[in-house]
Structure 1
């Protein structure tokens, strides 16, 4: 059997995406009659019909669906390969889409992006601040950034930070007229800034020391879903906050917040950039990973 050409296979994909021979011909820069002739020739070569055609609609047949489901990843990989070859002799370009938590984006803005944007001005970085863990492949992201514990097991993970400590903080004004906090359970007698998780559930504040563990559903009249806002509320004296230490550190340093129960604080393993391990890595992502590694080495 004669092997279909790359242009014939691309024509199938484009028609399926546009649901129209006319629109697909415009995208491909062909005459409609030429595109129709191309598909008829391909169907004759394969011995199957790929599209149901009526005067009003175009839809894939079962054979067409099977072909496209296997074909699309190959076409995308070929496009990435050609972009890599082209980029090898020119200034790299393209868009790097990353799903990340707001804490991760804050870290990138501080540690990685200044150098990357300066060195690779042709690459556009598109960061989506998403509290909820998403399927990065299904949603079209090149990579994600999350707590290492939350990275899916089938992904490649590149650490972005060391362990991340969670701290309890409050303003001096709030603490001045209230009972001392010496044990995690003392928190239950205080006003707390509660956190809502992306799932809609409230986060339980966690503490650990010498084998003792507590997960407290703390009391409070204000619930937020953003750590930066929780810190702002704590600075304003609205209650205790429980946040990653990097959010609170500037305010602790200038005396506007006080850290509590430091001996009970727990730590995450840190955050990591992650991406699929069985896919060709786009040039933009590979260069971004190289910048991350160089940044971390410089900090050691």
Structure 2
């Protein structure tokens, strides 16, 4: 059987409500002829007459009364669901799911996420941290947060925050018996904390100064795959660490870590919020992007 469209069901409900094809057509913004054809077409497919018609009146048949009693509540639920979805285009509500690296999550939590929740009391945020780069569409996320170089090419990116910089650090105790390195090549005489990327590859420490670049596979007895573990190992004097500047700045200021090779760690592009499309963007994501831009001024 041909599947009836909403307009045919709406036509039947409107005629039943008004007892008039003309009044129903006016309500739905249709011509009386078009509405009459919609109702007649539905009756033909159902094989029953829904309305008894005379030149002076229109009334539901027995079959029509049963049909309307069943369809009207269902149609109301459908309209309610459509309105609820439409409201999300205008008013932030529901849950905003964001995938982020651990470091990026720390950077956006206080200045953006918590401020967002205070501003939009009906919102919830599900911030999921992951070392690997996931497919945010497949995994059901509204957006992701990563460094610029890790944003997939088919995504729309919103850069925000300061530029990113890495730092090479070691504990004061580590340097008690070792000289400070002044150029990247000096690292061959040092114990370094090696970092395994989510892909399984060991990260090569990258340096650049005045157009001279070096990518070094540092040596060390300890390999870790989580930045907070690398930071803790560096604090304990286990070796030199290559970490984001923001993750070590407090330890440097407090004297818990000593920074070296600073002139070899240039500024890099910072973080981006990224998402798949601007079409039908929910109000929750639109408001989050607006807050990012507001916070970035």
| TM-score with structure 1 setting the length | 0.70
Structure 2 counterpart of 1:226: 226
Matches of residues 1-300 of structure 1 in structure 2 within 5 Å? Answer: 4-5=5-6, 82-83=83-84, 85-86=86-87, 92-297=92-297
Distance (whole Å) between structure 1 residues aligned to residue 295 and residue 167 of structure 2: 26
Distance (whole Å) between structure 1 residues aligned to residue 86 and residue 277 of structure 2: 21
How far did residue 3 of structure 1 move?
Answer: 5.3
Distance 1:134-1:88 versus aligned 2 partners, 3 A rule? closer
Distance 1:176-1:137 versus aligned 2 partners, 3 A rule? same
- Asked whether the equivalents of residues 180 and 260 of structure 2 are also in contact (C-alpha less than 8 Å), the reply is no
Distance (whole Å) between structure 2 residues aligned to residue 253 and residue 265 of structure 1: 18
Distance (whole Å) between structure 2 residues aligned to residue 88 and residue 276 of structure 1: 16
How many residues align? The count is 230
- Asked whether the equivalents of residues 204 and 218 of structure 1 are also in contact (C-alpha less than 8 Å), the reply is yes
| TM-score with structure 2 setting the length | 0.71
Distance (whole Å) between structure 2 residues aligned to residue 84 and residue 121 of structure 1: 18
The gaps in structure 2 that reach 5 residues or longer are 10-41, 47-78
Distance (whole Å) between structure 2 residues aligned to residue 262 and residue 159 of structure 1: 25
The gaps in structure 1 that reach 5 residues or longer are 9-40, 46-77
Distance 1:96-1:230 versus aligned 2 partners, 3 A rule? same
Q: Over alpha carbons, which structure has the higher Rg?
A: 2
Structure 1 counterpart of 2:30: none
Structure 2 counterpart of 1:24: none
Q: CA RMSD in A?
A: 2.7
- Asked whether the equivalents of residues 89 and 280 of structure 2 are also in contact (C-alpha less than 8 Å), the reply is no
